[in-house]
Amino acid sequence: MCMKLSGADVIIECLKEQGVDTVFGYPGGQAIIIYDALYRARNEIQHILTSHEQGASHAADGYARATGKVGVCIATSGPGATNLVTGIATAYMDSVPMVAITGQVPTSLLGKDSFQEVDITGITMPVTKHNFIVKDVTQLAPTIRKAFAIAKEGRPGPVLVDVCKDVTATQVEYTPQKPAKEDYQSIKLTDISTEDLDRAMQAINEAKRPFLLSGAGVGIAGAEREILELSETASIPVCTSLMGMGTFPGTHQLYTGMVGMHGTKASNYAVHNCDLLIVAGSRFSDRIVSNINTFAPEAKIMHIDIDPAEVSKNVRADYPLVGDIKKILKALLKGIVYKSDTDWTKRVLEWKEKYPLKYDKSDTAIKPQYLIERICELTKGDAIITTEVGQHQMWAAQYFKYNRFRQFISSGGLGTMGYGLGACIGAQLARPDKKVINIAGDGSFRMNCSELATAVEYKLPIIIALFNNKSLGMVRQWQELFFGGRFSQTSIDRGTDFAALAEAFGAKGINVNYPTQVDEAINTALAETCRPVLLNFEIDKDDKVFPIVPPGAGLNEVVDC
């Protein structure tokens, strides 16, 4: 049925077409007509007013990661749009589907240095899958629809749509359209020959020391069951990347933990000693590979990924398999020979037992590793965990047992401090049935702590577990280990009372100074149902993240103290 609508109403109708029920944003002059349309649609689309546009982009990101749906954020032109850039780049690096809609000055004022004019499509070109500027209202609906398709298809990512103000005001004929029902993750295996699949099957069956690295792409493709079946059928131990947490059960016997700079000794030793490394849905980042010259020196590499640009980009693949990970694994499983526990499997599991994650449990101070263990235990491992970036992020990855994908939400590729609180808000709105906990450091938290006001406004029972060591902990750790203990600008002991700050925002704040107070504080926070709780855990600034692979070292040179 065709109808005449303003451009702004077309945007709203297109969002409804795509099944969008929640958007995050902040209004402004060039987006004001869009916001007027949102007001009329307030019973159909929930708008979450954040404290800052960056918070909106992180919340949309967290919403997307928690659900697999496309997250949506909206901002005005100029600084409103540029404030989204860090969040867009974060989503781009971690393959998160997002559509960012920005207002722009009228077409007649483009290129004239108009008030709050900025070339946001030019600025975001390197950190989006695609972006658009809409100057013709007849192109608005097709562009919005295309933006959602691009954000979802293949390797997901963010798309920006910049809409000139006069376009949002202009009337146009609009015809509703149902989105295509195709699975955007689905890519046919036409580019993978039978010979390539047969070679890959043979390599797995003949390998004496196979090892499997499961990345986020496995979860995005919904291939967790296939990875588990491959591991159990061929008796292959499994590690995950930071972003791949939960793609393989964290409590499974064959799971050896995270790999890379802060990975377990068992995972890193297994990579170093395997003869076949099967990597699914991971891009071989420097935090995994470390020294490229000594990475998996005895192994052939099998790389399974949906993005052809990633295959052989950082590490040459002997068995490149490009396409839908789930379909590729299903095809491979048809030819995999069953094996019981092998000598190699036993060797890897011996490393796992001999070199567990460890910390000083005799200390009378609160240990950060202990905090993560207690959070995991008291939530029965069922919470969604978001993080800021730093030491606390690594402890959260190491000591919480993730048994499902979309349970660990963190900025991996960009390493965005200030990410976690916005992402926590988005994840809680997406999954009101789950307890969502943001593991934060005091340095990261203070960057976007104003989003506490957002959580209070919308009565979100999120928990902020603040690991307060009064320093920029990860940088300080590097300064001590690798820069002669020269602590340059990493002390942030500014006397901030974070519990009082939370109370000032209308949240609940609790100071926790001793290990005996930990369980009671966490349980109090878990019992809250309609407001955020900040738990200020005082930890020692000299606590460090171990294991660690020193810069320039190989994975076999990992140290744990």
In a domain, 394, yes or no: yes
122 with 240, same domain? no
**Mean pLDDT over residues 53-79, rounded?**
98
291's tokens: 């020294």
Structural domain ending residue among the three candidates 302, 323, 354 = 354
Residue tagged 């039978």 (tokens): 194
333 with 379, same domain? no
64 with 93, same domain? yes
- CA dist 39 and 47 (Å) reads 9
Output the pLDDT for position 45.
98
248 with 158, same domain? no
393 with 477, same domain? yes
CATH number at residue 334: 3.40.50.1220
Give the side-chain half-sphere CA count within 13 A for 311. 18
Domains held by the chain: number? 3
458 with 434, same domain? yes
Quick one: CA torsion of 450, 455, 459, 465, rounded to 10 degrees?
A: -110
Output the pLDDT for position 187.
46
* Burial class of residue 511 in the structure, from the number of CB atoms within 10 Å of its CB (0-12 exposed, 13-18 middle, 19+ buried): middle
- CA dist 291 and 272 (Å) reads 11
**Phi and psi (nearest 5°) for 249?**
-55, 125
Structural domain ending residue among the three candidates 112, 139, 174 = 174
In a domain, 396, yes or no: yes
3-state secondary structure 228-260: HHHHHHHCCCEEECCCCCCCCCCCCCCEEEECC
301 with 339, same domain? yes
- CA dist 163 and 136 (Å) reads 9
Query: For 409-466, how does the pLDDT look when each residue is reduced to its tens digit (9 = 90+)?
Result: 999 999 999 999 999 999 999 999 999 999 999 999 999 999 999 999 999 999 999 9
Output the pLDDT for position 561.
80
377 with 349, same domain? no
Output the pLDDT for position 182.
54
> 45: closest CA among 88, 83, 101, 84?
101
Question: Contact at 8 Å (CB) between 228 and 248?
Answer: yes
**Mean pLDDT over residues 478-484, rounded?**
97
**Mean pLDDT over residues 205-209, rounded?**
98
> 130: closest CA among 156, 94, 165?
156
In a domain, 183, yes or no: no
In a domain, 488, yes or no: yes
3-state secondary structure 516-553: HHHHHHHHHHHHCCCCCEEEEEECCCCCCCCCECCCCC
In a domain, 363, yes or no: no
523 with 481, same domain? yes
Name the more confident of 189 and 215. 215
Name the more confident of 190 and 119. 119
* Burial class of residue 188 in the structure, from the number of CB atoms within 10 Å of its CB (0-12 exposed, 13-18 middle, 19+ buried): exposed
57 with 85, same domain? yes
In a domain, 549, yes or no: no
Output the pLDDT for position 2.
82
240 with 388, same domain? no
Sign of the four-CA dihedral 30, 36, 39, 45: negative
Query: How many CB atoms within 10 Å of residue 313?
Result: 14
Buried-exposed string 350-383: b where 16+ CB fall within 10 A, e elsewhere: ebbeebebebeeeeeebbbbbbbbbbbebbebeb
Query: For 233-282, how does the pLDDT look when each residue is reduced to its tens digit (9 = 90+)?
Result: 999 999 999 999 999 999 999 999 999 999 999 999 999 999 999 999 99
In a domain, 184, yes or no: no
Q: What is the mean pLDDT of the chain?
A: 96
Output the pLDDT for position 186.
46
Query: What is the residue range of 320's domain?
Result: 189-354
In a domain, 360, yes or no: no
**DSSP E strand boundaries for 349-420:** 384-387, 408-409
Give first-to-last CA distance, the chain, whole Å. 68
- CA dist 83 and 123 (Å) reads 11
> 328: closest CA among 145, 192, 164, 426?
192
Which residues are known catalytic residues? 53, 115-116, 165, 474
With H, G, I as helix, E, B as strand and everything else as coil, classify residue 133: strand
Residue tagged 């159990």 (tokens): 232
540's tokens: 């020692």
> 391: closest CA among 481, 518, 519?
481
Beta strands 3-6 and 171-174: pairing type?
Answer: antiparallel
**Phi and psi (nearest 5°) for 318?**
-80, -30
CATH number at residue 434: 3.40.50.970
Output the pLDDT for position 72.
98
**Mean pLDDT over residues 505-519, rounded?**
97
337 with 380, same domain? no
Query: For 222-235, how does the pLDDT look when each residue is reduced to its tens digit (9 = 90+)?
Result: 999 999 999 999 99
Structural domain ending residue among the three candidates 144, 174, 204 = 174
Question: Contact at 8 Å (CB) between 278 and 320?
Answer: no
Query: For 346-370, how does the pLDDT look when each residue is reduced to its tens digit (9 = 90+)?
Result: 999 999 999 999 999 887 899 999 9
Query: For 170-194, how does the pLDDT look when each residue is reduced to its tens digit (9 = 90+)?
Result: 999 999 998 876 544 444 545 688 9
